[in-house]
Amino acid sequence: MKSIQIISEDIYGCDFFKEVAHRINREVRVFCNSAQAWSPKRGRIFAASNADLVIVCIDADARDPEEVEREQLKIIKRSARSEQDVEKRLKIVVFSYEAEEWIIASMKLKISGDKPSEVLRGKMGYEKKDLPKYAPHLDFNVLREMSVRSFIEFEKAVKDP
């Protein structure tokens, strides 16, 4: 059985991503650790992991996603066993804003410049600790139809680790 290690920014993200990953592919074992976005701990988690695939999930918070990905790659490479290990086992998934964008898109809500979590807070009283509760309700077809890049990349990685 293949295994996936997810690195999330917080524990709520871990529970959320694990549930989404299992909905996508029940044939994988999923582990998750949390580490702050720019912490060197992310690199150490990657280096210590024996998983077939390591997915780093990171919020861009409206920054350039490619720049965010490059910066995360630098953090991971500092601790990695080798360049080949990074190329073989690492997938970085960058959210335009934050993971809550999957919920917003799935519910077909409009963001209108606000952070997705703020939209959810205003409409539904959302708190960060609520994030895992939304995983079972994501509409994957809507996320695909709306071409939500971060979801499509995550789904592709989880389907074939």
Domain assignment present for residue 138? The answer is: no
Domain assignment present for residue 75? The answer is: yes
Domain assignment present for residue 119? The answer is: no
Strand positions, DSSP E, 35-158: 53-59, 90-95
Model pTM greater than 0.85?
yes
Domain assignment present for residue 52? The answer is: yes
C-alpha 10: how far from chain center:
11
Domain assignment present for residue 130? The answer is: no
Q: How far apart are CA 43 and CA 49, in angstroms?
A: 10
Domain assignment present for residue 123? The answer is: no
- Domain total for the chain? 1
C-alpha 157: how far from chain center:
11
Question: What is the full per-residue pLDDT of the chain (161 aa) written as tens digits?
Answer: 999 999 999 999 999 999 999 999 999 999 999 999 889 999 999 999 999 999 999 999 989 999 999 999 999 999 998 999 999 999 999 999 999 999 999 999 887 778 999 999 999 999 999 999 999 999 999 999 999 999 999 999 999 88
CATH number at residue 18: 3.40.50
Domain assignment present for residue 140? The answer is: no
